Amino acid sequence: MAAFEDYGITERRINYRLTSGFIKEYYEDFIVCEILKKGIKFSAHGHPLLRIKKRGVGHGELVRSLPNANLFGIKDKVSIAYQFASMKSRRPPIKFSRDGLEVSTVGFTPEALGRGQLLGNAFGIRIRRWRGDDEAVREWERLLLKGLMPNYFGPQRFGGNNIRIGMDIVRRNFKAAEDRLSEDGYRNIRDVPLWLRRLLVQSYQSYLFNRSLSRVVDEGIKGKAIRVAMDEGPFMGYISMAPLAGYSFRAKDDIYSKALVAELEKEGLRARDFYIDEYPELSVEGGYRPAAIISAKAYHVTEEDSLLVGFLLRRGSYATSALQELLDHQRTLESL
């Protein structure tokens, strides 16, 4: 059984009033719906904008079903997910359905759209066999809405050996990476689909982000944070930003940069190592990501032995990371 530490996430919680329960026992227990930004321009013809409903369909299967589409996000397989995609080329309307998957065209755009059009995700989650008290849930909602929860990459960001393979690639241990990939039927790195190839290095990048965030939580590193103003629909205010490892990373005098520098030193890596000369398409530049989960609106309803929670998260924040601050640590992981 994996532990959160395997994903770089500390055991230390911000919320000390944890409850217990299980998520994702049924697809209907985890419902997620993408919300697009306002102002999308439509036209009579052009690039189809697709509406997708999937139930028990993984991201890889969805990519194979829509090979010429820009998907705006990766959604849990064990869920009912409503999401959007934009076709990269101009073409007639698309509509089809198969087991667990329904795709239809809602309109056309003059140009193909990308992930920048995604505002956030709305979640409705049922926690079964729940044990706790209402006050604990209210405290969780308060911490969530005040932006006090670490914005970890959730466990679903990391599949199988992705972290280890990504680390091998960054360290130029290509033979070791291919040996691990052979377990999934790939003979060499370039046999892996491009989206999955990129996810391998990104998984390691995400792991290092989690570790640097955990370092700040565990050690209480003193100093300032880089803060930026945000005004995106319901998401407003000032947010602290934390760097992602990448070839463009340059340390600044803020607590999150200090934490990432310490993690890179521990790994024996430099920023330049994330430019992969042998596989340039796998290089990661870096950048910044909110250090705390950004949320708007939250509610809960208690029903017999289950708890229903609903909340809205800005793109890039994980529902499972928010639930870590509500549910017993290991039980959350066992439910994923």
Q: Which domain holds residue 272?
A: 152-290
pLDDT at 117: 95
pLDDT classification of 144: cutoffs 50, 70, 90: very high
Q: Are residues 138 and 175 in the same domain?
A: no
* Percent of the chain residues topping a pLDDT of 70: 97
pLDDT tens-digit readout, 291-312? 999 999 999 999 989 999 999 9
Query: How sure is the predictor about 155, in pLDDT bands with cuts at 50, 70 and 90?
Result: confident
What's the whole-number mean pLDDT along residues 33-40?
96
pLDDT of residue 219: 86
Residue 14 belongs to a domain: no
* 42-62 mean pLDDT: 96
The yes-or-no verdict on residue 220 having pLDDT over 80 is no
In a shared domain, residues 244 and 325: no
Residues 225 and 261 in one domain: yes
Give a yes or no: residue 12 inside a domain. no
pLDDT of residue 1: 53
Residues 112 and 184 in one domain: no
286 and 298 assigned to the same domain:
no
Cβ-in-10-Å burial (0-12, 13-18, 19+) of 261 comes to middle
128 and 84 housed in the same domain: yes
Give me the phi and psi of 300, to 5 degrees please. -150, 150
Q: Is residue 245 over pLDDT 60?
A: yes
Do 189 and 279 form a contact (C-beta atoms < 8 A)? Answer: yes
Position 2 scores a pLDDT of: 67
Segments in the chain forming alpha helices (H): 59-65, 134-145, 162-170, 174-181, 194-219, 255-267, 319-323, 329-335
Same domain, 138 and 167: no
98: domain CATH number is 3.30.2350.20
Confidence (pLDDT) at 278: 97
pLDDT at 317 over 80: yes
Question: Looking at residues 65-81, what average pLDDT do you find?
Answer: 94
What sign does the CA torsion over 187, 198, 281, 256 have?
negative
Quick check: is 3 in a domain?
Answer: no
Percentage above 90 pLDDT, the chain: 84
Q: Would residue 50 count as lying in a domain?
A: yes
Residue 285, pLDDT above cutoff 70: yes
Quote the tokens at residue 305: 């032995």
| 174-181 and 162-170 helices, crossing angle to 10° | 160
Q: Is the pLDDT of residue 249 over 60?
A: yes
Q: Are 119 and 215 members of one domain?
A: no
pLDDT digit string, tens, across residues 188-213: 999 999 999 999 999 999 999 999 99
Domain final position from 290, 310, 327: 290
- What pLDDT score was predicted for residue 223? 78
Q: Do 299 and 249 lie in a common domain?
A: no
How many residues in the chain? 336
Q: Tokens at residue 86, please?
A: 């934009």
User: Residue 121's closest CA among 50, 51, 36, 199?
Assistant: 36
**What is residue 146's predicted lDDT score, i.e. its pLDDT?**
94
Report how many domains make up the chain.
Answer: 2
- Whether residue 334 is predicted with pLDDT greater than 70 in this model: the reply is no
Residue 11, in any domain of the structure: no
At residue 121, the 3 state secondary structure works out as: strand
What rounded mean pLDDT belongs to the chain?
Answer: 93
Residue pair 325/319 in contact (Cβ under 8 Å)? The answer is no
User: Domain for residue 5, yes or no?
Assistant: no
Q: What are phi and psi of 324, to 5 degrees?
A: -60, -30
- 153: DSSP letter: P
The order of strands in the sheet holding 235-244 is: 226-232, 235-244, 287-290
Residue 21 in contact with residue 137, Cβ under 8 Å?
Answer: no
**Pair (49, 116) in one structural domain:** yes
**Residue 310 CB partners (closer than 8 Å, separation 6+):** 122, 123, 124, 125, 297, 298, 299, 300
In this structure, are 237 and 194 located in the same domain?
Answer: yes
Q: Report the distance separating Cα 238 and Cα 98, nearest Å.
A: 44
The DSSP output letter for 155 is G
DSSP state, 253? S
Which residue carries 């309803």 as its tokens? Answer: 301
Please give the structure tokens belonging to residue 66. 């829509």
Residue 2 lies in a domain: no
Residue 7 within any structural domain of the chain: no
Asked if 52 and 89 sit in the same domain, the reply is yes
> What pLDDT was estimated at residue 93?
96
